[in-house]
Chain A
């Protein structure tokens, strides 16, 4: 956590933007990192619960009956690509490539996020239709406690992004909107990271050990 002039906080910095007040943007983004740490603990707890509940299917359907890896592959692709587009948006912001480009990348991120959510909800509904709802067993409770929690985060991220697009339209790229965009980007990459964990532990791990 060096505090040199070129690196005020971990991650992408907007150094050289004369209108971004360095001290305050460093503070705000540091605070957001701390929030992400706290949120990570919440997810960590849910992962731990899931791992202890693998096998607690109480005679109900388990991972091998319920998981659809084709759909999961598409979801993973959508979310990982959306992380790339969010990264491109950050670069467009940092190197001032114009608002059209920035908005373009952000809209692409939003579309991919929504595509992910649609596929995920479809999966959940199909699990319920096969008798694999959360009320069926402890294992499925743990699944539905963790995976939709990530989905809820993605949903909130989408709402946040829509609000930010409006604010960019109304206020332009003022400093407060810039730091909000930077925080959004951190949040979005964080959700990607969680998804990698979910794919590896919940889906793949569940499939192997369930």
Chain B
């Protein structure tokens, strides 16, 4: 038995610390410094948990929990950790390009790793888990459910997502990540041109997180179709939940092509297949089609829930019913369907006929129509509302202005003749950041401020939140608008260096913006720290700090494990708002029942660890370990399936006691009006400013209930 039987292709040279010792350049220093930060961060967390004896609570209350709310929070924590890395990578890349005239300080290969990990992380390990976290936390509360349809599968999805994200962290410390960009086009990422471990890290991280997202989609769709509270018909669902329906459909149908693309690339690399190779009949266009067959629905998968968050934010902070609800639902559904018909616009220049390009160009422009409908609906919601400029609303206004600009540049790019000029340039980079940051990220950050008090029972610091929001908006604008210009001037994307001095001023402006974004992120972390420190002055135990409209605001903050002491009987859209107007919110109830909740199980964290080992073994060709961890995963699932008594009962008496204590507390609390929303006096009981809808508008908005009632 040789060493390579045991360790595969893993050797001491795989560690960046060793390569730094052999070649002490600035480039290697940055690489090994980044690896060092990962190791150090892991150590700090480990020591902290041990010192404060938190391993037990972490295991009992979080890692083995099947509560959708805790799983949602863990998704978001994971997304924020990964976002910190992604933002830092962005700043490093902007810095490199600012000094990139004839050189810069990074090696070309290192820069390529940076843009590959930045893209992969931001899409798969920031945006996806961030969105999944909100869906997990909010959607069951909005439809009046006590959990998702498959709580254990939910836990497994989280475990697999985290394991694949950890692979990207591991790639900083052991070996190198792919240099093939986030889309990893073969044949460049094939074995012939890239024999190292980089593309393999990408493949397995994508496959495992792709499986996790597919399972999440199945879970969310089933939850919405089957577990809505009585009376919660489709046309009474909050708009965020509607966008989750669409996002789940996209997860179910769009993730399989990605999994196929990555797995077939894996077969090419590991077993000498010829799907995408240059020789023996391989065809890389199949990869491009598969990848974008996923890739385009993916952007709507991310942005639709963000639209949903903004819809909730705009109506809550305008104290008005959402304008044009049926049209927003139809627009959301149209976007979900259209998103499957446009994938080819990602490769207009790759050789198909002009007719095909024209067809996909027109389909792409069509998406602007439902999106435009939405923008008008949101503006009409704001119109004559009593608007409060709280943090989510600042993100919302930034979104409305900037996202429309991003959408318009998208319509420009949808024209194949123009695309031939600007494709693969920084114009494209500016465009997709312009939709992803103001669209997806601002939506998620707005949701973070909006639902934080619901999840943790206290409000975030408003002043620092406003600062962070403004820094995000300014930072984004200063970073990415110059890129439109250099893109039109012909600067290609993904270049670590360039020879034209005309680009330099724009690159310097962009790097200033990048540091602005970095300080926005730091402000957010600071805000979190400050808010935790002063949490006692900002508690909102009653649970409705913003005069909210949907069911999640009708329960305590943080909500009990079973969400609803009594499953609500929904009578109309925005049921909680209508109940407040009628003075019938918080009615005492009599009929409490025993509530079954799923027991804790370690299967999710076990599969997290095992799939991590499995991926590592495959990347480094440690075959014995790969086989062993495959069998272990199979065995773990089989053994788990024998544990059929996995429910725990919360007695009706306990539910009654907690619920009545909360009702009593409501009786003792003084409601606050919207002028004192950010005062310590806001204990989460809103003196509602919602009134009956004016005649003219309610005529537009009365189509509630049955889906066939969708008429303008």
Interface residues of A (CB under 8 A from B): 23, 26-28, 30-31, 34-35, 37-39, 41-42, 45-46, 49, 52-53, 56-58, 60, 134-142, 144-145, 159, 163, 167, 170-171, 174, 176-177, 180
Interface residues of B in 42-83 (CB under 8 A from A): none
Nearest CB of chain A from residue B644's CB, rounded to whole Å: 5
When the two chains form their complex, are residues B271 and A135 in contact, meaning their CB atoms are under 8 A apart?
yes
In the bound complex, residues from chain B placing their C-beta under 8 Å from that of A26 are 226
When the two chains form their complex, are residues A46 and B260 in contact, meaning their CB atoms are under 8 A apart?
yes
When the two chains form their complex, are residues A31 and B283 in contact, meaning their CB atoms are under 8 A apart?
no
In the bound complex, residues from chain A placing their C-beta under 8 Å from that of B214 are 38
28 A–B contacts, CB within 8 A, in A order: A23-B226, A27-B149, A31-B226, A34-B218, A35-B218, A38-B218, A45-B256, A45-B257, A45-B260, A49-B286, A56-B281, A58-B279, A58-B280, A134-B272, A134-B273, A134-B274, A135-B272, A135-B274, A138-B274, A138-B275, A138-B281, A141-B273, A141-B275, A141-B282, A142-B275, A159-B634, A171-B644, A174-B644
Nearest CB of chain B from residue A185's CB, rounded to whole Å: 17
Instruction: Return the chain A residue nearest B290 by Cβ.
Output: A45
B117 at the interface (CB under 8 A from A): no
When the two chains form their complex, are residues B260 and A42 in contact, meaning their CB atoms are under 8 A apart?
yes
Instruction: Return the chain A residue nearest B225 by Cβ.
Output: A30
* Given A28-B149, A138-B274, A141-B275: 6 more A-B contacts, CB < 8 Å: A23-B226, A27-B226, A38-B218, A58-B279, A145-B267, A159-B634
B38 at the interface (CB under 8 A from A): no
A167 to B640 CA separation, bound complex (whole angstroms): 12
Residue in B280, B282, B293 with the greatest tally of chain A CB atoms within 10 Å = B280
Nearest CB of chain B from residue A53's CB, rounded to whole Å: 7
Instruction: Return the chain A residue nearest B223 by Cβ.
Output: A27
Within 8 Å by CB of A34, from B222, B256, B275, B281, lies: B222
Interface residues of B (CB under 8 A from A): 149-150, 214, 217-219, 221-222, 225-227, 252-253, 255-257, 259-260, 264, 267-268, 271-275, 277, 279-283, 286, 290, 293, 634, 638, 641-642, 644
When the two chains form their complex, are residues B274 and A137 in contact, meaning their CB atoms are under 8 A apart?
yes
When the two chains form their complex, are residues B227 and A42 in contact, meaning their CB atoms are under 8 A apart?
no
A27 to B226 CA separation, bound complex (whole angstroms): 6
Instruction: Return the chain A residue nearest B259 by Cβ.
Output: A42
Nearest CB of chain A from residue B474's CB, rounded to whole Å: 42
A138 to B279 CA separation, bound complex (whole angstroms): 9
A52 to B290 CA separation, bound complex (whole angstroms): 13
Within 8 Å by CB of A38, from B227, B255, B283, B290, lies: B255
Nearest CB of chain B from residue A146's CB, rounded to whole Å: 10
Nearest CB of chain B from residue A64's CB, rounded to whole Å: 17
In the bound complex, residues from chain B placing their C-beta under 8 Å from that of A170 are 642
In the bound complex, residues from chain B placing their C-beta under 8 Å from that of A140 are 274
In the bound complex, residues from chain A placing their C-beta under 8 Å from that of B255 are 38
In the bound complex, residues from chain A placing their C-beta under 8 Å from that of B253 are 37-38, 41
Nearest CB of chain B from residue A28's CB, rounded to whole Å: 8
Within 8 Å by CB of A145, from B227, B257, B264, B281, lies: B264
In the bound complex, residues from chain B placing their C-beta under 8 Å from that of A174 are 644
Instruction: Return the chain B residue nearest A42 by Cβ.
Output: B256
In the bound complex, residues from chain A placing their C-beta under 8 Å from that of B226 are 23, 26-27, 30-31
When the two chains form their complex, are residues A30 and B283 in contact, meaning their CB atoms are under 8 A apart?
no
When the two chains form their complex, are residues B286 and A52 in contact, meaning their CB atoms are under 8 A apart?
yes
Instruction: Return the chain A residue nearest B253 by Cβ.
Output: A41
A140 to B281 CA separation, bound complex (whole angstroms): 9
A176 to B646 CA separation, bound complex (whole angstroms): 11
When the two chains form their complex, are residues B222 and A137 in contact, meaning their CB atoms are under 8 A apart?
no
Query: If A46-B260, A49-B275, A142-B275 touch, does A137 touch B281 (CB 8 Å cutoff)?
Result: yes
In the bound complex, residues from chain B placing their C-beta under 8 Å from that of A52 are 283, 286
SS of B interface (majority):
helix
When the two chains form their complex, are residues A134 and B271 in contact, meaning their CB atoms are under 8 A apart?
yes
In the bound complex, residues from chain B placing their C-beta under 8 Å from that of A180 are 641
In the bound complex, residues from chain A placing their C-beta under 8 Å from that of B280 are 58, 60, 136-138
A84 to B256 CA separation, bound complex (whole angstroms): 29
A86 to B29 CA separation, bound complex (whole angstroms): 62
Query: If A141-B267, A141-B275, A145-B275 touch, does A31 touch B282 (CB 8 Å cutoff)?
Result: no
Residue in A42, A176, A177 with the greatest tally of chain B CB atoms within 10 Å = A42
A31 to B226 CA separation, bound complex (whole angstroms): 9
Nearest CB of chain B from residue A100's CB, rounded to whole Å: 23
Instruction: Return the chain B residue nearest A139 by Cβ.
Output: B281
When the two chains form their complex, are residues A38 and B641 in contact, meaning their CB atoms are under 8 A apart?
no
Instruction: Return the chain B residue nearest A45 by Cβ.
Output: B260
Nearest CB of chain A from residue B57's CB, rounded to whole Å: 31
In the bound complex, residues from chain B placing their C-beta under 8 Å from that of A46 are 260
A159 to B414 CA separation, bound complex (whole angstroms): 49
Instruction: Return the chain A residue nearest B285 by Cβ.
Output: A52
In the bound complex, residues from chain B placing their C-beta under 8 Å from that of A142 are 275
Nearest CB of chain A from residue B234's CB, rounded to whole Å: 12
Nearest CB of chain A from residue B118's CB, rounded to whole Å: 28
Query: If A38-B252, A42-B256, A138-B274 touch, does A31 touch B642 (CB 8 Å cutoff)?
Result: no
A176 to B273 CA separation, bound complex (whole angstroms): 42
When the two chains form their complex, are residues B256 and A53 in contact, meaning their CB atoms are under 8 A apart?
no
A177 to B641 CA separation, bound complex (whole angstroms): 10
When the two chains form their complex, are residues A49 and B644 in contact, meaning their CB atoms are under 8 A apart?
no
In the bound complex, residues from chain B placing their C-beta under 8 Å from that of A38 are 214, 217-218, 252-253, 255-256
Query: If A45-B257, A57-B281 touch, does A135 touch B273 (CB 8 Å cutoff)?
Result: yes
In the bound complex, residues from chain A placing their C-beta under 8 Å from that of B644 are 167, 171, 174, 176-177
When the two chains form their complex, are residues B286 and A145 in contact, meaning their CB atoms are under 8 A apart?
no
Instruction: Return the chain A residue nearest B294 by Cβ.
Output: A45
In the bound complex, residues from chain A placing their C-beta under 8 Å from that of B225 are 30
In the bound complex, residues from chain B placing their C-beta under 8 Å from that of A167 are 641-642, 644
Nearest CB of chain B from residue A57's CB, rounded to whole Å: 6
In the bound complex, residues from chain A placing their C-beta under 8 Å from that of B150 are 28, 31
A180 to B252 CA separation, bound complex (whole angstroms): 22
In the bound complex, residues from chain A placing their C-beta under 8 Å from that of B267 are 134, 141, 145
A140 to B280 CA separation, bound complex (whole angstroms): 10
When the two chains form their complex, are residues A163 and B638 in contact, meaning their CB atoms are under 8 A apart?
yes
Query: If A26-B226, A58-B281 touch, does A144 touch B259 (CB 8 Å cutoff)?
Result: no
In the bound complex, residues from chain A placing their C-beta under 8 Å from that of B277 are 138
A144 to B642 CA separation, bound complex (whole angstroms): 34
In the bound complex, residues from chain A placing their C-beta under 8 Å from that of B275 are 49, 138, 141-142, 145
A59 to B256 CA separation, bound complex (whole angstroms): 31
When the two chains form their complex, are residues B256 and A27 in contact, meaning their CB atoms are under 8 A apart?
no
Residue in B253, B256, B277, B283 with the greatest tally of chain A CB atoms within 10 Å = B256
Instruction: Return the chain B residue nearest A135 by Cβ.
Output: B272
A26 to B260 CA separation, bound complex (whole angstroms): 30
A38 to B249 CA separation, bound complex (whole angstroms): 9
In the bound complex, residues from chain B placing their C-beta under 8 Å from that of A137 are 274, 280-281
Nearest CB of chain A from residue B481's CB, rounded to whole Å: 38
Within 8 Å by CB of B252, from A37, A57, A177, lies: A37
In the bound complex, residues from chain A placing their C-beta under 8 Å from that of B256 are 38-39, 41-42, 45
Residue in B227, B264, B274 with the greatest tally of chain A CB atoms within 10 Å = B274
A209 to B286 CA separation, bound complex (whole angstroms): 20
Query: If A27-B222, A38-B218, A176-B644 touch, does A56 touch B283 (CB 8 Å cutoff)?
Result: yes
A46 to B221 CA separation, bound complex (whole angstroms): 25
When the two chains form their complex, are residues B260 and A163 in contact, meaning their CB atoms are under 8 A apart?
no
